[in-house]
Amino acid sequence: MTPQTPAEIVDAFIAAVEAKDLGLALTYVTDDIEYDNVPMGKVFGPDGVRSILGPMVEHATEVKWTTHRSAAEGDLVFTERTDHFALPTGPLDIAVAGLFEIRDGKIALWRDYFDMAEVAKAMGG
């Protein structure tokens, strides 16, 4: 089934990331997507998204993004998630608040907010 609503598009994107299928995940984003990983900065386009997400997904033996709450209004989808990555160095769980803006059936803006200090601490840095 092809995702139709903004919430379904975001859910399909997340499912593809969890399956570690970035090729599929990137079919849900626009060519000019703005991915703002707030404490780390912005990247643009599918290649920009891949440059940030790729290393995490490729090194993880498991990826699970648990959505605790979500809300959609118009073309906006808000998520409260825990992003889990099983990495060779150990598990990494990141509390994330995310915003997705959909344009023409694809994610045009993806903005995630998380505490970089907590991530650094979890990674031993």
Q: How many CA atoms lie within 13 A of 118 on its CB side?
A: 11
Enumerate residues 6+ apart whose C-beta is below 8 A from 11.
Answer: 3, 67
Residue 115 designated active-site: no
**Which candidate in 11, 36, 112, 115 is catalytic?**
112
* Catalytic position from the list 83, 93, 104, 115: 83
- What would the two tokens of residue 85 be? 């990555």
Task: Specify whether 83 is catalytic.
Answer: yes
Catalytic residue positions?
83, 112
